[in-house]
Amino acid sequence: MVISVATVTYLVKMFYHVFLKKNDKEYKDLVFDISSLDLALGSISIIIIFIGTNPNFIMKNLIEPQLFLTTYNPHFILEHLSHISFFGFKDVLFSTGIILVGIIVCLIVEKFRLFRIKLPKRLSVEYILFIPLSLIMKSVCLLIYGKKCPINQENIKKLQETDIQKTSFIDRIVITANVINERYEKSIIRSDALIYTFFITIILIIMLILKFC
């Protein structure tokens, strides 16, 4: 319940600043254009709205028929899934209450400017997570590869940057993900692909031998 209220509070704040709050800047040269990404997101949005407003249709026509084809006990499906009430009065009332509480909390927090309260730098995510993580990655790389450590030192410096304005939280996540992906994930994927290919080939060969024998 607390997490749900906090989520509503954050979404109300975001909705207000994105759609309702007056923008100080005017973008006169901004040209509206529909791209393939807009069409894809629009299609997904329509599907989400349809599923949300017609859950019983999805359950009866898509989910249940597929479950009956599996090893699930039909009695279990009919007993526990077929009679689900997606829009029960208590559930709708409970959800409405959470939304109202979230809106009230958002108004209170906005009124007293609590969103602007910032933790000391020493308690920020940058200090607690990313700076130690960058030191660990650098140390492990030096331990394994020595002076030939392949990690880009510029990325390590960005992770160790104490000025949050210069290297943002999102930038730190992207840099960390790229470092891990570049050095470790690719090799794992390649080795797994090799293993899967080997076993699939062996299985196909055995199936062919059994067929012709």
Give the pLDDT band (50/70/90) at residue 213.
Answer: low
- When the pLDDT of each residue in the chain is averaged and rounded to a whole number, the result is 80
Residue 188 is predicted with a pLDDT of 56
Q: What is the pLDDT of residues 44-88, one digit of tens each?
A: 888 889 889 989 888 888 888 888 888 888 888 888 888 888 888
Percentage of residues in the chain with pLDDT exceeding 70? 88
Taking CA atoms, 95 is separated from 8, 45, 52, 74, 145, in Å, by: 11, 21, 14, 31, 55
Length of the chain counted residue by residue: 213
Q: Which of 109, 110, 117, 116 is nearest to 21 (CA)?
A: 110
Q: What is the pTM of this model?
A: 0.53
Domain boundaries along the sequence of the chain: 2-19+37-116, 121-212
